[in-house]
Amino acid sequence: MNNRRTGAIGEELAEIMLLEKGYSILARNFRCRHGEIDIIAAKGGAVAFVEVKTRLFESCGQGRESVTAAKRQRIRNCAMCYIAICGREFEAVDFQVIEINACHLKGLEF
């Protein structure tokens, strides 16, 4: 399985997890000049910008390890673009990493 397909499956699983936790999905794979956000979800008055990291094998390391400071800054910049474009106001903004590791999901905030 190639990395793009693995990532797409991971994003689908992460979306299911978010929906089960009461989030609504506002966007998938939002792109702007700063980069991409895998999932943008809302719950109540809050919006969550979610990076999904999928690992098939533990030898690949933990997904959160690949979300560097530079990657977090790109996600923040994309988030600001999304908020400016969507025209909505949110009570809170949340940034999350969802790790998909072969058989389990784990959500983390950063």
Structural domains in the chain plus CATH codes: 3-104 (3.40.1350.10)
DSSP conformation class of 31:
E
Query: What is the pTM (predicted TM-score) of this model?
Result: 0.83
Report how far residue 52's alpha carbon sits from residue 45's, in angstroms, rounded to the nearest whole number: 22
Residue 63's pLDDT is: 56
Residue 87's pLDDT is: 86
Residue 60 contacts residue 37 (beta carbons within 8 Å): no
Average pLDDT (28-50) is 95
Residue 29's pLDDT is: 96
Residue 1's pLDDT is: 59
Q: In the 3-class helix/strand/coil scheme, how is the chain assigned residue by residue?
A: CCHHHHHHHHHHHHHHHHHHCCCEEEEEEEEECCEEEEEEEEECCEEEEEEEEEECCHHHCCHHHHCCHHHHHHHHHHHHHHHHHHCCCCCEEEEEEEEEECCEEEEEEC
Give 30's pLDDT tier (boundaries 50, 70, 90): very high
Residue 53's pLDDT is: 85
Enter the tokens of residue 69.
């400071």
pLDDT tens-digit series, residues 51-109: 998 876 554 556 556 667 888 899 999 999 999 999 888 999 999 998 887 655 555 55
